[in-house]
Structure 1
């Protein structure tokens, strides 16, 4: 499997040099299931964490796509041109039916506990965080900028929660397998399911969590819906960020991405990856899809744009596959969107949140709710309203007993 260059050895060396007693305790107590674990903190130091890779064995019924890695950017662009052409029929033409994909995948992950607790065994609820396209797990631990805190890991730790964040397959420092046949929605849902089961049993982290609150952003929200469909008991509560059932702007969004072969766009970062891995071409496309000016810090935007992540042809052709009514899911659901989300609301989310729960979660618990972050685009965590967004998410979790 192709992987980006790992920084784990360097981080291990730093962690081993002089860990604080709290970090050392967390590392010794909660490193179970991690390969090459090292201690770290959240961006603001509110959480003590164990980071490393976890080996996840998973199997899924992926779609056999009758595509190959494009030999040039011309070929890659033509795939997207046809994908966006309503009359082209490319989606049906490349669908070769279902095929079983199995393997053991190294997933880069971070398990964090409130730095203030003396015993991590006292924490019963973990927030399971799934990032969306264009990001990796950094989305949940964005560093402070100009005195404003953007880290959800810090907010959750301050409220007494453990968090588990990870780089989805094909992003960050997780494995980068075949971008067409392997990195698809179905397998990613299965990988998430396996990690949730490991968190509940304690085989990851050593703490058997009683409750798992699933929190997704964008494509991560789609993954969360897939979990609720196939494994309705996996998640006790669900928070969907950056998602509605309004898909009218998805085509415009993909066109805005101006998808570019990642190894051509950023050869120093992605030069070893097959051409089925793409990225958003420019900062302009990034801003258009994910941000609402002036409600974001431009210096932070530039930092995050410089850390943009890959998406695959396999993901594009199976993007919304997990979205279907989760009739058997009975937990509460919180729909959280930026009022000016470009991707799922065409920049005006008025009335969109209220449509999600009855359409996709007909048996959701009475504690279900929704929230609009004012003046905010698709990447809620990277806007100046993040603090208020986090407060609503945490209140939802606590109000429902988790």
Structure 2
């Protein structure tokens, strides 16, 4: 089924978004990235064929004292899962306050899955974009289908792209869904990855510029890195993000979250308790898409490829967002103009919600170092819309204007 859907996604409409160089193998004479730093490594190309990539797993050691201890028993059935999110969305509900029981330590060495891509024209980039995906997807949100690949856009503009499965997602390790896989620990993992990219851990490449790029929960993680570790990123791009969280309960309810092993028994037969997925393609459309700005084949592919989220992540979504007075490097906020969870469906009303990020969180980022872009007729899943191409061009132009990776 997935092969058929990928073929549909590579239709004329999709291909027109970004140039592509289709093919199933690395071209003769092109130097693939080294296996260094990767276990069980494989070499391949990006969806549109503009990048040559190495994929595998690798250990990441990360620790935090800021995970939250929850006085909450994992749901034993779907009814309990549904009731949890109905309670969260209920006005005046004390659920969140009742279940928070202080802070706890979490961490260790985790197996993480990831991919490093470099341009297929055999250049050696000085800059790498560290791509952190959001809820409902795995790393391939960034390299989704021919014509819908942020990776292709980045490498076409001379950057390397490093994208990974967050802890608990895809081929990455799947530890305890409540106490371990939370936002605070994932911030530490992202920071460690940034340091490892700068230090030459992967493919023996010591990148001069490390650019943090996130989507949704991945932007929350990226933003928290800029707050806790202001020098980790030479620039940060936050997509699907704002400081307006009023629509998050609506978003979570709309996703109709389901126990992963029951909703997708063939894909997730052995995930631990507390791992969830969106309920149906309709749930996916409400949360991530906006018509008529997408190809129905892409929605079908998103449903077929949907991935897990933990209760610990959902309970700590807003716990790590904080002011970043020490961060002064370039920053851009890029949203679908009709993003549901972070804009309640309208990122321009009553003001530009992307622009408010600088005022609320980044007092020392100058106006010359800050930018925003709202992709028209585009929902929360920015990369899966026709409008993605404009957002891709804006981001790469923004980085070049600030001489990053050049």
Report the TM-score, using the length of structure 1 for normalisation. 0.91
Asked whether 1:39 is paired with 2:39, we answer no
Asked whether 1:231 is paired with 2:235, we answer no
The runs of at least 4 aligned residues of structure 1 exceeding 3 Å deviation read: 17-23
From 48, 63, 68, the counterpart of 1:59: 63
Asked whether 1:357 is paired with 2:358, we answer yes
Which digits, 9 at most, give the CA deviation of each residue in 1:90-112, with x for residues without a partner?
Answer: 21222121111121111110001
How far residue 282 of structure 1 moved from its aligned partner, in angstroms, is 1.1
State the match for 2:376 in structure 1: 374
How far residue 18 of structure 1 moved from its aligned partner, in angstroms, is 7.8
Structure 1: how far apart are the matches of 2:70 and 2:25?
49
State the match for 1:117 in structure 2: 122
Equivalent residues in 2 for 1:29-178, closer than 5 Å: 30-61=34-65, 62-118=67-123, 120=124, 123-144=125-146, 149-178=147-176
Asked whether 1:26 is paired with 2:32, we answer yes
How far residue 321 of structure 1 moved from its aligned partner, in angstroms, is 1.0
Q: Residue 32 of structure 2: SS of its match in structure 1?
A: helix
Asked whether 1:278 is paired with 2:280, we answer no
Equivalent residues in 2 for 1:169-208, closer than 5 Å: 169-208=167-206
Are the structure 2 counterparts of residues 44 and 88 from structure 1 closer, same or farther at C-alpha, using a change threshold of 3 Å?
A: same
Structure 2: how far apart are the matches of 1:156 and 1:368?
19
Which digits, 9 at most, give the CA deviation of each residue in 1:149-191, with x for residues without a partner?
Answer: 1111111111111000001111111111111011100010101
Note the aligned Cα RMSD (angstroms): 1.5
State the match for 2:3 in structure 1: none
Are the structure 2 counterparts of residues 19 and 373 from structure 1 closer, same or farther at C-alpha, using a change threshold of 3 Å?
A: closer
Structure 2: how far apart are the matches of 1:88 and 1:384?
38
Structure 2: how far apart are the matches of 1:156 and 1:88?
43
Structure 1: how far apart are the matches of 2:340 and 2:96?
24
Structure 1: how far apart are the matches of 2:330 and 2:359?
12
State the match for 1:220 in structure 2: 218
How far residue 19 of structure 1 moved from its aligned partner, in angstroms, is 5.8
How far residue 255 of structure 1 moved from its aligned partner, in angstroms, is 0.8
Report the TM-score, using the length of structure 2 for normalisation. 0.90
Where structure 1 has 5 or more consecutive residues not aligned to the other structure, the ranges are: 1-16
Are the structure 2 counterparts of residues 116 and 265 from structure 1 closer, same or farther at C-alpha, using a change threshold of 3 Å?
A: same
Which digits, 9 at most, give the CA deviation of each residue in 1:123-159, with x for residues without a partner?
Answer: 2100110111011111111112xxxx11111111111
How far residue 316 of structure 1 moved from its aligned partner, in angstroms, is 1.0
State the match for 2:325 in structure 1: 327
Are the structure 2 counterparts of residues 18 and 328 from structure 1 closer, same or farther at C-alpha, using a change threshold of 3 Å?
A: closer
**2:25 and 2:45 in contact (8 A); partners too:** no
Structure 1: how far apart are the matches of 2:84 and 2:376?
36
The alignment covers a number of residue pairs equal to: 376
How far residue 361 of structure 1 moved from its aligned partner, in angstroms, is 1.0
Where structure 2 has 5 or more consecutive residues not aligned to the other structure, the ranges are: 1-23
